[in-house]
């Protein structure tokens, strides 16, 4: 038999959404338990400088920001633990979440703040240059490439949006597209094709990066595998991935609604899922903004909803 523990409020995930939920739930005397998940601190721990989070006029390192949020949650009595949610049973309350395949938490309310992982090409160089020229978020990191040359990988709406956004900052943007066409909507295609700073490289694959103290260029292959295949290097300062995100929602899918990508669908303008007492906050439920500040805001909403739910049921 697995060990079982009963709690009033369980939070899964430790990014801005999870920690903010823990701050609010702690202040509401819900005695929240938070499991940090695969990446304690979330995606922000892979970001060197955060300049767009309100309250830090000089900017702050991603890991430092998450450490501040963690300490704030602890100050209000949140029980923060390391562990990964490996299974879920949301068929009836109390809901059961298995941690590390060895312990079951029974909870009256659940806040899912498991985030979404950016998809990468799988190149070793992406890891090598993480935070040194490789990014999966133009709105997070584009500012650091003002008047520089960057490349964006992808051919969908997100890639086109990122390319246009970066073109407002950088001196030159290359859009690396594997196919001979763009998958993006007509309007985004036109914006990209008509922009004087953006050059689209169709039928190109990025196969590696190079540079001494950061990204200085990309190894490209044109028409890979074809008889007229060409290989050449292109000088760039930044390499942006825009090939999508994968929400970390798999274990919850039998119980909550998700879109075709896996983002949890909540009631409009709320963190409420279709399961009473189960809430989704942050990037796992946000295909649109994916910012630390919007995640934090949704974590606040989720904790307030959890407190109201528990109060209405007479549990607190």
Q: Is 118 exposed, middle or buried (0-12, 13-18, 19+ CB in 10 A)?
A: middle
Output the CA–CA distances (angstroms, integers) from residue 70 to 42, 292, 300, in the order listed. 11, 14, 14
Asked if 123 contacts 209 with a C-beta cutoff of 8 angstroms, the reply is yes
Q: Is 25 helix (H, G, I), strand (E, B) or coil?
A: helix
Asked if 5 contacts 21 with a C-beta cutoff of 8 angstroms, the reply is no
Nearest-angstrom CA–CA distance, 13 and 264: 15
pLDDT at 24 over 80: yes
pLDDT at 290 over 80: yes
Cβ neighbours for 253, distance < 8 A, ≥ 6 positions apart: 262
Active site residue 300: no
pLDDT digits (tens, 9 = 90+) for 75-98: 999 999 999 999 999 999 999 999
Q: Which fold has domain 120-241?
A: FAD/NAD(P)-binding domain (3.50.50)
Residue 316: per-residue pLDDT: 87
How do the domains of the chain map onto residue ranges?
3-117+245-313, 120-241
Asked if 252 contacts 112 with a C-beta cutoff of 8 angstroms, the reply is yes
Closest CA to 232 of 240, 220, 215, 216: 220
Residue 96: per-residue pLDDT: 98
Q: Supply the DSSP symbol for 119.
A: P
Residue 39: per-residue pLDDT: 85
Average pLDDT over residues 32-50: 87
Active site residue 137: yes
pTM greater than 0.95: no
pLDDT at 243 over 90: yes
Active site residue 141: yes
Q: Is 310 helix (H, G, I), strand (E, B) or coil?
A: helix
Residue 72: per-residue pLDDT: 98
Task: Look at domain 3-117+245-313 and name its CATH class.
Answer: alpha beta
pLDDT band at 43 (very low <50, low <70, confident <90, very high): confident
Query: How many angstroms separate the most distant Cα atoms in the chain?
Result: 72
pLDDT digits (tens, 9 = 90+) for 169-203: 999 999 999 999 999 999 999 999 999 999 999 99
Same fold, 3-117+245-313 and 120-241: yes
Residue 54: per-residue pLDDT: 95
Q: What are phi and psi of 109, to 5 degrees?
A: -130, 150
pLDDT band at 215 (very low <50, low <70, confident <90, very high): very high
Average pLDDT over residues 15-42: 95
Q: Which of 9, 140, 160, 300 is catalytic?
A: 140
Residue 106: per-residue pLDDT: 98
pLDDT band at 44 (very low <50, low <70, confident <90, very high): confident
Q: Which of 9, 137, 160, 300 is catalytic?
A: 137
Q: Which of 49, 79, 125, 141 is catalytic?
A: 141
């Amino acid at each position: 038999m697995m060990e079982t523990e009963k709690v009033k409020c369980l939070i899964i995930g430790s990014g801005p959404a999870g920690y903010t939920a823990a701050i609010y739930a702690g202040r509401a005397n819900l005695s929240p338990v938070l499991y940090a998940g695969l990446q304690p601190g979330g995606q922000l721990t892979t970001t060197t400088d955060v300049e767009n989070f309100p309250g830090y006029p000089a900017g702050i390192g991603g890991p430092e920001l998450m450490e501040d949020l963690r300490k704030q949650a602890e100050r209000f009595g949140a029980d923060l633990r390391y562990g990964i949610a490996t299974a879920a049973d949301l068929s009836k309350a109390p809901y059961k979440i298995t941690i590390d395949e060895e312990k079951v938490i029974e909870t009256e309310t659940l806040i899912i703040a498991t985030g979404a992982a950016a998809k990468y090409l799988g190149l070793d160089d992406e890891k090598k240059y993480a935070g040194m020229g490789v990014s999966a978020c133009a709105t997070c990191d584009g500012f650091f490439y003002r008047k520089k040359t960057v490349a964006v990988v992808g051919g969908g709406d997100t890639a086109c949006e990122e390319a246009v956004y970066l073109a407002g900052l950088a001196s030159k943007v290359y859009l690396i597209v594997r196919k001979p066409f763009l998958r993006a909507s007509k309007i985004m295609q036109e914006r990209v094709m008509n922009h004087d700073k953006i050059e689209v490289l169709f039928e190109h694959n990025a196969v590696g990066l190079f540079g001494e103290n950061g990204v200085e260029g990309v190894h490209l292959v044109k028409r890979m595998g074809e008889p007229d295949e060409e290989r050449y290097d292109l000088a760039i300062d930044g390499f942006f991935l825009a090939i999508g995100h994968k929400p970390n929602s798999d274990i919850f899918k039998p119980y909550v609604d998700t879109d075709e990508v896996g983002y949890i669908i909540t009631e409009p303008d709320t963190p409420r899922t279709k399961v009473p007492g189960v809430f989704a906050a942050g990037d796992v439920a946000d295909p649109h903004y994916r910012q630390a500040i919007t995640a934090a805001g949704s974590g606040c909403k989720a904790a307030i909803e959890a407190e109201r739910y528990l109060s209405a049921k007479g549990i607190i």
